[in-house]
Chain A
Amino acid sequence: MIDESEIARQIPLVADSAAKRTLRCPPSTQLAAYVDARLGENPRSEVEEHLADCAFCVGQIGFLVRDSRAQAAVPLPADLVSEARERPTRRFGLVPAPALTALAATALLLVVSVLWQPNSGFGPARSYVEAPADRTVRNGAVTVAPPRILQPGEGEIVGRLPLEIRWSTSPGALQYSVQLLSLAGDLVWEGPNAGEETIVPPQVALEPGQRYYVWVEARLPSGAVSRSDAVAFRVAPD
């Protein structure tokens, strides 16, 4: 007769041997919401189904629950915090001065050339006043309707690759930046664009069956950025 307590003791030994995060794993936000008991019934069932077979995520859940049990205060060394405060990151504050000057000059040239054409449709007097004030834009100086993703549609299953992305333009925008993110929130592709559509290069491998997010940012003459809502879509399975 097999002893059930002995079976229980052996269960940790049959855990997956590759406890790594994969593209199928739900984002940290969802796992945290599961631990906080703030998920609705359907997303909760989906998360549980995933957890049953994912060593990485079940480890994350176990960690979050155990961690919330007892929080022993850890003394915070002041010098360590000030080092974290001061330490530059690789992409922040390291742009060389000549590059910054060149960028500023290009931006200024673009602004001047756009404002110079009276019928170009980019005139500040027209668009900024007429635009619906439904989205606050940084720097507070102007309020402009953000771009809106037209294709792919929300929840669409995209069957044809390379992926084509279209959006409605923002009045006065100088340039658009399209960002494509994985379900985990990692940036998969980013492309600058001056028009209202772009094609994701075929070398950007989008996985069949996977969910992705896309949004567009419009760069305005004021230097402000206006971002569209994110649109979620799925690549059709093979």
Chain B
Amino acid sequence: MGVASKLIELVPGFPAKEMEEAWDRFLSEYASLILQVVHLFERDQDRVDDCFLFVCEQLKRDRLRRLRRFKADGAASFPTWLRAVVRNLCLDWRRKRFGRPRIFRSIASLPEVDQEVFRCIYFRKLSENETLHTVKVTHPTLDRDGLADSLARIRERLSPRQSWLLLSRNPHMESLSGNAGTSGTADRERDLPDPEPNPEREAAKRDFLDALHEAMAGISPRERLLLRLRFEQDLSLEEISTLMQLGTPLKAQRSIQRALSRIREDLQMKGISSVSVEEP
């Protein structure tokens, strides 16, 4: 907190020399925290360096304006607040670096996680391993099976023409002597679209997700948050009970169970008796 409270004391008109000193002190204490957050976003060393320097530049900008926003007498601790700010900057860096190219309408109607997978595989040309690591930052529940499901959903949506467009745009070059295991020649081969998407299965899946979305809207905001923290953010029951001040993990578990039961009842009332969308 020492460095943080020193930063707070600075006001916009202070001399440049003082700012440099404050910046030096801040970096000595918090550069490792920044790098730690950056490492969660990127593995490639060049990208890590780029992202780290971008974050530092943004924090230093306008005479440390972002850092001076922190209120030393406020409720948040400086390291937690700084992690949040650095995460936002890492997301900004990603957007600046890779942009958000327009995706096909058929893909835009898929869940956010699928859109992220699509961008990684088709725009950034990442391997499945890299995609898993990258998407996990924003969708922590994604695992290998989830990624395979996501890719299947994407392939089902891509028409042959779209697939051709994607393959012909920015062709991915690989060294003949390169390591196929990391760069994903095999991955690329598996990326070939399924020539026969199953429209019935797709429609059933969409109906189910729409109904689930409605059912989620029908439960209380607190219950919704419980479910999101548990199943979207992959937090443990203990973490959730601490965060939402529920007392014990058991209480968190019971509340989650109650919320799931209500959703199940809602779905049954809507005539959805099976979640299995593989066999409509």
Contact = CB atoms under 8 A, between A and B. Distances in A.
A29 B81 contact: yes
A133 to B, nearest CB: 17
B130 interface: no
B61 interface: yes
Interface string A20-46: 010000001111111111110000100
A85 B20 CA distance: 8
Contact of B243 (A8, A37, A77, A185): A37
A6 B275 contact: yes
A40 B45 CA distance: 42
Contacts of B11: 138, 217, 225, 227
Contact size class for B?
Answer: 35 or more
Interface in B105-122: 108, 111-113, 115
A63 B37 CA distance: 10
Interface string B196-214: 0000000000001100110
Interface stretch (B179-187, B228-236, B247-255): B228-236
A83 B113 CA distance: 35
A219 interface: yes
Interface in A216-233: 217, 219, 223-225, 227
Q: Most chain-B Cβ atoms within 10 A of its Cβ — which of A1, A30, A68, A85?
A: A85
Contacts of B225: 48, 51-52, 58
Contacts of A130: none
Given A32-B84, A84-B56, A11 B75 contact: no
Contacts of B14: 138
A93 to B, nearest CB: 7
A11 B53 CA distance: 36
Q: How large is the interface on A (under 10, 10 to 19, 20 to 34, 35 or more residues)?
A: 35 or more
A74 to B, nearest CB: 5
B167 interface: no
B166 interface: no
Nearest to B243: A65
B277 to A, nearest CB: 9
Interface of B: 11-14, 16, 19, 23-24, 27, 31-32, 35-37, 39-40, 49, 52-53, 56-57, 60-63, 69-71, 74-77, 80-81, 83-85, 87-88, 108, 111-113, 115, 137-142, 146, 208-209, 212-213, 216, 221-222, 224-225, 227-235, 239, 242-245, 257, 260-261, 263-264, 267-268, 272-276
